[in-house]
Structure 1
Amino acid sequence: MRTVDGQIRFVTSVKPASGALTVFMSGPVLDGGVIGYPNRLSVSSIPSTTPVVTVPDTQPVAAPTYAALINKFTNSYWQNGSWRASAGVSVAATAQNLATFVAGASVRTADGQVRTITSVKPASGALTVFMNGPVLDGNDIGYPNKLRLVAAPASLPVAPSSPIADVTLPTQPVQLVGVALSGAAFGPSVLPGKHGTNYIFPAESYYQKYAEMGMKLVRLPFLWERIQPQLDTELDAAYLALLKQSLDFAQKHGVKVVLDMHNYYRYYKQPIGSETVPIQSFANTWKRIAQKIGNHPALSGYGLMNEPNTKGLWPEAALAAAKEIRKVDRANWIYVAGDRFSSAWHWPQSNTQLIADPWMRDPKNNLIFEAHMYLDRDTSGLYKDKTETFAPDLGINRAKPFVEWLRANELRGFIGEMGVPAYAPDAIVAMDNLLGYLRENCVPLTYWAAGPWWGNYILALDVSGGAPQPQLPVLKKHAATPNTCTAIGEPL
Structure 2
Amino acid sequence: MLVKKTVCTRNMLLSAALLAAAIGLSQIQVAQAATAKATAAAQQTIATTAKVNDFTSPQWLKGSWRQSAGLSIPATAANKAAFRKGAQIRTADGQIRTIKVIYFSGAHMSVMLSGATLNASKNGHPKTISALGTTPVAGVPPPATSGNQAASSSAHSTAINNYTNNDWLNGVWRKSAGFSIPSSSANRSAFKVGSSVKLADGQARKINAVYVSGKNMSVMLSGAALSGKLGYPNKLFSATSSSAPVAPAAPSKPATPAPGPVTSQPATGSSMTTALNAFNGGDFVNGVYNTSKFVGISVKATAENKAAFHKGAKIRFFGGEVRTIKLIYHSGGNMTVMVDGGAINGKAVGYPRTVSVSSTSFSNTSPSVDSTPAAGNAAPANPINLVGINLAGAEFGTDVRLPGVYLKQYIYPGEADFKRYAERNLKLVRLPFRWERIQPRVNGELNSAELRRMLTTLDHAKKYNMQVILDMHNYYRYYGKMIGTNEVPVSAFADAWRRIAQQVANHPAVYGYGLMNEPHTTNGKWPAAALAAAKSIRSVDAKNWVVVAGDRWSSAFHWQSYNTQLVKDAWMRDPSNNLMFEAHLYFDKDYSGYYTNRYEQYDPMIGVVRAKPFVEWLSRYRLRGFIGEHGAPDFSPSAVVAMDNLLKYLGQNCIPSTYWAAGPWWGDYALSLDVKSGKPRPQLPILQKHAANKSCGAVGPLR
Q: Which runs of 5+ in 2 are unaligned?
A: 1-370
Q: Report the equivalent of 2:625.
A: 413
Distance 2:377 2:388 in 1: 27
Partner secondary structure for residue 276 of structure 1: coil
Q: Is the 1:220–1:260 contact (alpha carbons within 8 Å) kept by the matching residues of 2? A: yes
In structure 2, do the counterparts of structure 1 residues 362 and 79 end up closer, same or farther at CA, with 3 Å as the change threshold?
Answer: closer
Pairwise CA RMSD of aligned residues? 1.4
Deviations 1:19-68 (A, max 9, x none): xxxxxxxxxxxxxxxxxxxxxxxxxxxxxxxxxxxxxxxxxxxxxxxxxx
Distance 1:381 1:491 in 2: 29
Matched residue type, 1:340? R
Q: Report the equivalent of 1:209.
A: 420
Q: Report the equivalent of 2:468.
A: 257
In structure 2, do the counterparts of structure 1 residues 79 and 365 end up closer, same or farther at CA, with 3 Å as the change threshold?
Answer: closer
**Residue 554 of structure 2, aligned match among 337, 342, 346:** 342
Alignment of 1:76-475 (within 5 A): 77-78=374-375, 80=377, 171-188=381-398, 189-309=400-520, 310-475=522-687
Q: Could you state the TM-score of these two structures normalised by the residue count of structure 1?
A: 0.66
Distance 1:232 1:76 in 2: 45
Alignment of 1:5-24 (within 5 A): none
Alignment of 1:56-75 (within 5 A): 75=372
In structure 2, do the counterparts of structure 1 residues 384 and 490 end up closer, same or farther at CA, with 3 Å as the change threshold?
Answer: closer
Distance 2:373 2:566 in 1: 28
Q: Is the 2:548–2:581 contact (alpha carbons within 8 Å) kept by the matching residues of 1? A: yes
Matched residue type, 1:266? R
Higher Cα Rg, which structure:
2
Matched residue type, 2:651? R
CA shift for structure 1 position 190 = 2.8
Q: Could you state the TM-score of these two structures normalised by the residue count of structure 2?
A: 0.46
Q: Is the 1:311–1:339 contact (alpha carbons within 8 Å) kept by the matching residues of 2? A: no
Q: Which runs of 5+ in 1 are unaligned?
A: 1-73, 82-142, 144-169
Partner secondary structure for residue 468 of structure 2: strand
Q: Is the 2:618–2:701 contact (alpha carbons within 8 Å) kept by the matching residues of 1? A: no
Distance 1:288 1:487 in 2: 28
Distance 1:76 1:446 in 2: 19
Distance 1:464 1:79 in 2: 44
Distance 1:375 1:311 in 2: 26
Number of residue pairs aligned between Structure 1 and Structure 2:
331
Q: Percent identity?
A: 57
CA shift for structure 1 position 383 = 0.7
Alignment of 1:22-61 (within 5 A): none
Distance 2:397 2:404 in 1: 7
Partner secondary structure for residue 371 of structure 1: strand
Distance 1:376 1:490 in 2: 25
CA shift for structure 1 position 77 = 4.8
Distance 1:414 1:472 in 2: 20
Deviations 1:115-139 (A, max 9, x none): xxxxxxxxxxxxxxxxxxxxxxxxx
Deviations 1:294-322 (A, max 9, x none): 11000001000000011411000000000
Distance 1:311 1:339 in 2: 10
Partner secondary structure for residue 284 of structure 1: helix
Q: Is the 1:190–1:198 contact (alpha carbons within 8 Å) kept by the matching residues of 2? A: no
In structure 2, do the counterparts of structure 1 residues 275 and 467 end up closer, same or farther at CA, with 3 Å as the change threshold?
Answer: same
Distance 1:228 1:240 in 2: 9
Distance 2:699 2:404 in 1: 36
Deviations 1:357-389 (A, max 9, x none): 000000011000000010001101111111211
If asked which structure has higher relative contact order (CA below 8 Å, sep 6+), I would say 1
Q: Is the 2:373–2:651 contact (alpha carbons within 8 Å) kept by the matching residues of 1? A: no
CA shift for structure 1 position 486 = 1.6
In structure 2, do the counterparts of structure 1 residues 233 and 77 end up closer, same or farther at CA, with 3 Å as the change threshold?
Answer: closer
